[in-house]
Structure 1
Amino acid sequence: MVVRVSVVVRVALVVLLVLALLVALAWLLQRRLIYFPDRSAPPPAAQVLAGGQDVSLRTGDGLDLGAWLVRPPPGTTDRRVGVLVAPGNAGNRLARVPLAAALAGRGLTVLLVDYRGYGGNPGSPTEEGLAHDVDAARAYLVDRAGIPAERLYYFGESLGAAVVTALAARQPPAGLILRSPFIDLPAAGQEHYPFLPVRLLARDRFPVRDHIGGITAPTLVVYGTADSVVPPAQSRAVADNAAGPVRVVVVEGADHNDASLLDGQQLIDAVTELTTPLSPP
């Protein structure tokens, strides 16, 4: 009996040790489970986008970040409306070329942002760092690209939806476009790592639902019904908590990274409709 108890105790200790190691690794390496940057530098903007130009954003903590500014192409009316595009957690701005081209084709001036650590940029991504990055992007559009603050929209994909919602809480936009937003990062992470105490461990939290409750700007929420990364219920919860007028566009059968959620007609038409009240000055 004593031997059997001793074996049970030893097994329990081994299990506890393994769990403790898993938790420690999750704490130390969690940002590698959140951010998946393509660190390679994209080609010059003009090679891949009509009307595109390479620009540099200077962050408040001293980084110089590459980005692309895309003006409406020749033959398209320039509506003098800006869209700051904050991407999701993977790739770099080269993957957002179809989105920028589609929006510019509707007369919008688009700034494609790459966060620190993405697209040849220095630094490593964190919640605080990404806030600096989009602050710099907004400042560029207003101070150097000539977009009036009252004619500036924020567009965020997935993680980027969290980044621009926090920006909107600091600097209200003309409108907010959230594609596949989650409630907060721990809630999204728990879906993929159910065996870990994600909410206790999370260093970056991105509380979208909390922020949207204080934002009165017109908001567009777009999500796919087959999203396997951010549960559709989380996107609906964000829309339900918006303090301002909100429109929800549901793309039937779309998964998180499908083209229909990148530059699909439903998405682009909805963005055009949101920005239409701002006629050219």
Structure 2
Amino acid sequence: MLYSLITITSGVYIGLIILLFIFQSYYIYHPDPDVTDTPALYQLPFEEVYLQTADQIKLHGWFVPVANPRATLLFFHGNAGNITYWLEFLNIFHQLGFNSFHVDYRGFGKSGGSPSENGTYQDAMAAWNYLVTQRQLAPTSIILHGQSLGGAVAGWLATQQTSKALILESTFTSVPAMASELFPYLPVRWLTRYQYNTLENLKKIHCPILIIHSPDDEIIPFAHGQKLFAEAPEPKTFLQIQGEHNGGVFLNLPHYTQGIESFLLKLGL
């Protein structure tokens, strides 16, 4: 009886490990192919942009200009949906006086290909190159802003290029760290094919950093934001917001925008 129980338990445990290993990408990426709205929903001017990555993947995005921009914000969204899910943020950025450029990762929205960690990094570099080469923007006029998974992407890009600043919003320290918290009884640190190691990348960054996180975040624990801030080099700022992972900023939008505004003033913008 005991032997049978041990055998069944071991089989279930091994089965869970195998399933977790095989279906990792389904835990990481949740793309939506349907782009149902545009920035026109908020009466924002915008340009439809198509660009190509170094590995020949066609990406889709929107460039939203503003008269007399303080800077240009390159925004990377989270792991679900597509750029239409983040239109409210483009409206906020516009009101703050930013140009903004928001591009869908490969496999999301109208972008071709399938998502992968290296793929998202190539997508980020293609978006950067578009701003610097085709828009002829100075690197020091570009602010990188990533939400959730997008923070990991923005953090990686900040190790490759020198931007005006980096904003990490509701971002995790790394995928293995998150996975070990979600599955504490499985050896996920040794199984995961994804790293997205924001914590390690932060140590290589040499621009001002704003970290935004909520203690109410039910997806990325507040401790991740705290750890990122503790390890980030100076100059750095922490903005504590309220509410859940998705849309919590809208519970107290003035606090959110004032926190970003204060950070911008420190940058001389």
TM-score tier (shorter) = over 0.9
Q: How does 1:43-54 map to 2 (within 5 A)?
A: 43-46=37-40, 49-54=43-48
Who is 1:222 aligned against? 212
Is 2:153 the partner of 1:159?
no
1:269 counterpart (255, 258, 262):
258
Whole-angstrom distance in 2 between the partners of 1:213 and 1:60 = 26
2:222 counterpart (214, 218, 232):
232
Deviation at 1:134, TM superposition (A): 0.5
Deviation at 1:33, TM superposition (A): 1.0
- Determine if contact 2:73/2:101 at 8 Å carries over to the other structure: yes
Unaligned runs of 5+ in 1: 1-6
CA-based RMSD of the aligned residues comes to: 1.9
- Determine if contact 2:76/2:102 at 8 Å carries over to the other structure: yes
Who is 1:28 aligned against? 22
Deviation at 1:27, TM superposition (A): 0.5
Q: Which moved more, 1:256-265 or 1:220-229?
A: 256-265
Deviation at 1:80, TM superposition (A): 5.2
**Higher Rg of the two aligned structures:** 1
2:108 counterpart (110, 118, 136):
118
Whole-angstrom distance in 2 between the partners of 1:16 and 1:120 = 43
Q: How does 1:8-27 map to 2 (within 5 A)?
A: 8-27=2-21
Whole-angstrom distance in 2 between the partners of 1:17 and 1:232 = 35
Relative to structure 1, the CA distance from residue 262 to residue 55 in structure 2 (aligned partners, 3 Å threshold; closer, same or farther) is farther
- Determine if contact 1:156/1:177 at 8 Å carries over to the other structure: yes
Who is 2:249 aligned against? 260
Deviation at 1:49, TM superposition (A): 4.8
Q: Secondary structure, in 3 states, of the residue corresponding to 1:264?
A: helix
Deviation at 1:233, TM superposition (A): 1.0
Whole-angstrom distance in 2 between the partners of 1:154 and 1:83 = 6
Q: What percentage of aligned pairs have identical amino acids?
A: 28
TM-score (norm 1): 0.89
Question: Deviations along 1:48-106, whole A, 9 cap, x unmatched?
Answer: 5511121012111110111111111xxxx422511110001111111111111111122
Relative to structure 1, the CA distance from residue 190 to residue 49 in structure 2 (aligned partners, 3 Å threshold; closer, same or farther) is farther
TM-score (norm 2): 0.93
Whole-angstrom distance in 2 between the partners of 1:223 and 1:261 = 13
Who is 2:75 aligned against? 85
Relative to structure 1, the CA distance from residue 189 to residue 265 in structure 2 (aligned partners, 3 Å threshold; closer, same or farther) is farther
Who is 1:209 aligned against? 199
Question: Deviations along 1:258-281, whole A, 9 cap, x unmatched?
Answer: 3416992333333333334455xx
Deviation at 1:19, TM superposition (A): 1.5
1:250 counterpart (235, 240, 261):
240
1:196 counterpart (168, 181, 186):
186
Who is 2:160 aligned against? 170
Whole-angstrom distance in 2 between the partners of 1:228 and 1:202 = 22
Question: Deviations along 1:163-213, whole A, 9 cap, x unmatched?
Answer: 110110111211000001211111122222333222111111111111111
Relative to structure 1, the CA distance from residue 236 to residue 90 in structure 2 (aligned partners, 3 Å threshold; closer, same or farther) is same
Whole-angstrom distance in 2 between the partners of 1:142 and 1:80 = 16
Question: Deviations along 1:206-259, whole A, 9 cap, x unmatched?
Answer: 11111111212100001111111111111010011111311001114x111134
Unaligned runs of 5+ in 2: none
Whole-angstrom distance in 1 between the partners of 2:105 and 2:218 = 24
Q: Secondary structure, in 3 states, of the residue corresponding to 1:55?
A: strand
